[in-house]
Amino acid sequence: TPTKQPLLLLEPLPEPTLEILGQYFTIHPFSDMEALKVIAPSIRAIATGGSYGVRPDVMAALPNLEIIAVNGVGLDKIDLTEAKRRNIRVTVTTDISTNDVADMAMLLLLALKRNLRSNEQFLTEGQWATGKLPPLAHSLNGRKLGIAGFGRIGQAVARRAQASDMEVAYFNPRPRTESPLRFEPDLLKLASWADVLVITLPATPATKHIINNDVLTALGKEGALINTARGSVIDEDALLDALKNKKIAGAGLDVFQNEPTINPAFFALENVVLQPHQASATVETRLAMGQNIIDNLLAHFSGKPLLTPAC
Ligand code: 8YV
């Protein structure tokens, strides 16, 4: 039997995915640079996660790298300029996680608006049984939803929000003329109009800290912020200040700066709903993402066109 192609694995994949991958590749989970040096010249392929990416020193240590298969759609942790310069192909799991990520945005939004955390606490602390009732929550019906970033995920959020009879407008680098929804080219204006601002922008130098103190102040005391994109799009110090000082009503966050060791100041807040980057973390979606990685890698090594190249 021919020897299997080695594959450098930077972020864990689901067990069933690894089993199939293992039929075609010898999987080398990354441990440290010393161990990597030993196998470096043999490595032509990497599998990694969207939030993990590829460290520049790892990429530089692999002279024969040909392909990076990303288990996700975010490319912010990969130096694409360097990849292009070295003629390294990059693939993403285009559109596979769209609906799950949009569901997470709605989950965070509903949890926040309907007081899910405090209501459950009220119940489990036995307050309901004493005949008390929790404070009333807030309706989504007729409220204004601003979506920052109107790609596939933003549009999937819009569909869900419309099903809840919300009014929707969006900010994007360019209008999506195929959508009948209102385009707002000014993020500050969108924030002051909106009751809820959902962030579905890619993390790029242009979007770094785009959600700053001005945007949060514009969103206002009754406003809620939802982020299922990347932590870097929000100025977290400004957000923590806005949450502590009730400049906004609350936030639903699946992503943070410095994951997984996020700023512990978030833990003390009551007006937040927090998730450890779980928006695409369902069995169905993660197995489909895993299959996409397998299919792209096999296509590459059999000289076929990549299924979902990043660019
Ligand atoms: C995951 C993601 O975090 O799609 C993305 O960009 O953030 C994710 O799906 C993850 O990296 C999966 O390993």
Nearest-10 crossing angle of helices 15-24, 283-301 = 10
Active site members: 230, 259, 277
Nearest CA to ligand 1 atom 3: 51
Residue 269 token pair? 């807040």
- For residue 69, tell me if it sits in a domain: yes
- For residue 132, tell me if it sits in a domain: yes
> How far from 122 is each of 9, 107, 112, 114, CA to CA, in Å?
44, 20, 15, 13
Task: Verify whether ligand 1 is closer than 6 Å to residue 280 (CB atom).
Answer: yes
The share of the chain scoring above pLDDT 70, in percent, equals 99
Query: In which domain, by residue range, is 63 found?
Result: 5-96+283-301
pTM of the full predicted structure?
A: 0.97
pLDDT in tens, 156-208: 999 999 999 999 999 999 999 999 999 999 999 999 999 999 999 999 999 99
Ligand 1 atom closest to Cα of residue 93: 4
> How far from 289 is each of 50, 95, 300, CA to CA, in Å?
11, 10, 17
Alpha helices in the chain (DSSP H): 15-24, 33-39, 56-60, 80-85, 98-113, 116-124, 152-163, 187-193, 213-219, 236-244, 283-301
- The average confidence (pLDDT) of the chain is 97
- For residue 173, tell me if it sits in a domain: yes
Query: Residue 271: pLDDT band by 50, 70, 90 thresholds?
Result: very high
Pair (210, 151) in one structural domain:
yes
Pair (257, 174) in one structural domain:
yes
CB atoms within 10 A of CB 278: 14
Pair (32, 73) in one structural domain:
yes
Interval between CA 142 and ligand 1 midpoint (Å): 32
Ligand 1 atom closest to Cα of residue 277: 3
Task: Verify whether ligand 1 is closer than 6 Å to residue 277 (CB atom).
Answer: yes
Pair (258, 113) in one structural domain:
yes
Nearest CA to ligand 1 atom 6: 74
> How far from 207 is each of 148, 200, 233, CA to CA, in Å?
10, 11, 6
- For residue 306, tell me if it sits in a domain: no
Pair (132, 260) in one structural domain:
yes
How remote is the C-alpha of 209 from its chain's centroid?
A: 15
pLDDT in tens, 49-80: 999 999 999 999 999 999 999 999 999 999 99
Pair (116, 239) in one structural domain:
yes
d(CA 154, CA 158): 6
Pair (103, 86) in one structural domain:
no
Pair (105, 246) in one structural domain:
yes
Pair (106, 237) in one structural domain:
yes
Interval between CA 89 and ligand 1 midpoint (Å): 18
| pLDDT value of residue 311 | 80
| pLDDT value of residue 3 | 81
> How far from 6 is each of 26, 27, 44, 311, CA to CA, in Å?
5, 6, 7, 24
> How far from 80 is each of 49, 54, 68, 294, CA to CA, in Å?
15, 10, 11, 21
Interval between CA 220 and ligand 1 midpoint (Å): 30
Ligand 1 atom closest to Cα of residue 72: 4
Query: Residue 2: pLDDT band by 50, 70, 90 thresholds?
Result: low
The arithmetic mean of pLDDT across residues 94-110, rounded, is 98
Q: Please count the structural domains in the chain.
A: 2
pLDDT in tens, 22-40: 999 999 999 999 999 999 9
- For residue 11, tell me if it sits in a domain: yes
| CATH number for 254 | 3.40.50.720
Interval between CA 10 and ligand 1 midpoint (Å): 13
Task: Verify whether ligand 1 is closer than 6 Å to residue 290 (CB atom).
Answer: no
Beta bridge partners of 25: 5
CB atoms within 10 A of CB 157: 30
Instruction: Output the CA angle 168-171-172, nearest 5 degrees.
Output: 130
Pair (75, 125) in one structural domain:
no
ipTM for the predicted complex comes to: 0.95
Nearest to 233 by CA among 249, 253, 247, 248: 253
Pair (264, 211) in one structural domain:
yes
pLDDT at residue 126 tops 70? yes
pLDDT at residue 300 tops 60? yes
Do residues 168 and 196 lie in contact, with contact meaning Cβ atoms separated by under 8 Å? no
Ligand 1 atom closest to Cα of residue 51: 11
Return all residues near 170 (Cβ < 8 A) that are at least 6 apart: 146, 147, 148, 149, 150, 154, 158, 176, 179, 181, 182, 183, 184, 190
Pair (146, 253) in one structural domain:
yes
